[in-house]
Amino acid sequence: MKIILVGPPGSGKGTQAGHIASMFGVNSVSSGDLFRDNLAKNTELGKLAKDFMDKGEYVPDEVTIDMVMGWIEDPTHSSGFVLDGFPRTLAQAEALESRLLGSGGIDRVLFFNVDEEALVDRLSGRLICRGCHMPYHIKFSPPLITDQCNSCGGGLYQRDDDKVEVIRNRFKVYMQETEPLVKHFRESGNLREIDASMGINDVKRAIERAVR
């Protein structure tokens, strides 16, 4: 099963990706997490990505495509996967589609639809676990113990790009670069739209209906 998650930043893709992956017994990956892992390890790729990420801009396609293809080509991911945050441009979508031509293509595209003001509310209160990347929200899904991850005990932090002015720019970039992909995937017939303004459990149930 090869599933991709498309939607604006803060639409809940990261919260649901692990759940969807475990439904199908596959792995999920977030391209943003791959970049952040590189940043934390201070790799050349991390250094290159940092300036773009800090401003809420997209990292150039060549670099992003190489990084995600490297993950997909790992033999442990060959049975299927959930991609969160990739593809985000038409060039990325075409690269992925041509890479998957021989193996049945993309099975499902889930489009997480939610409006800008809800996203600003969500992202400005978001906290992320340093250990396992699990997202929390200070109001909507707080951790059981302040600043500590419920699942791995790691410390929680606010991402630099979850500041209001950067959030607005990320949304603008999303509308310009990624929103056109919705039409592209709708035409392929395997896109399902999820009302991502609902609470976490309702979104989860809507996804279960959409992938079955």
Site of interaction with ligand AMP (CB under 6 A): 9, 30-32, 35, 52-53, 56-59, 64, 85-86, 88, 92, 161, 170
Chain centre to alpha carbon of residue 64: 13
Shorter beta-carbon distance to ligand AMP: residue 130 or 205: 130
User: Catalytic site residue 130?
Assistant: no
User: Catalytic site residue 159?
Assistant: yes
State the catalytic residue, choosing from 2, 36, 122, 126.
Answer: 126
User: Catalytic site residue 88?
Assistant: yes
Shorter beta-carbon distance to ligand AMP: residue 24 or 30: 30
Q: How far is the CB of 212 from ligand AMP (least distance, A)?
A: 26
State the catalytic residue, choosing from 36, 88, 108, 122.
Answer: 88
Q: How far is the CB of 197 from ligand AMP (least distance, A)?
A: 18
Task: Give the integer Cα–Cα distance in Å for 67 and 75.
Answer: 15
Q: How far is the CB of 87 from ligand AMP (least distance, A)?
A: 6
Q: How far is the CB of 185 from ligand AMP (least distance, A)?
A: 15
Q: How far is the CB of 97 from ligand AMP (least distance, A)?
A: 14
User: Catalytic site residue 170?
Assistant: yes
Shorter beta-carbon distance to ligand AMP: residue 24 or 174: 174
Shorter beta-carbon distance to ligand AMP: residue 87 or 206: 87
State the residue number with the nearest CB to ligand AMP. Answer: 32
State the catalytic residue, choosing from 2, 36, 108, 170.
Answer: 170
Q: What is the DSSP string of the chain?
A: -EEEEE--TTSSHHHHHHHHHHHHT-EEEEHHHHHHHHHHTT-HHHHHHHHHHHHTPPPPHHHHHHHHHHHHTSGGGTT-EEEES---SHHHHHHHHHHTGGGT---EEEEEE--HHHHHHHHHTEEEETTT--EEETTTB--SBTTB-TTT--BEE--GGGSHHHHHHHHHHIIIIIHHHHHHHHHHT-EEEEETTS-HHHHHHHHHHHH-
Task: Give the integer Cα–Cα distance in Å for 80 and 57.
Answer: 29
Task: Give the integer Cα–Cα distance in Å for 173 and 190.
Answer: 24
Shorter beta-carbon distance to ligand AMP: residue 115 or 146: 115
| Catalytically annotated residues | 13, 88, 126, 159, 170
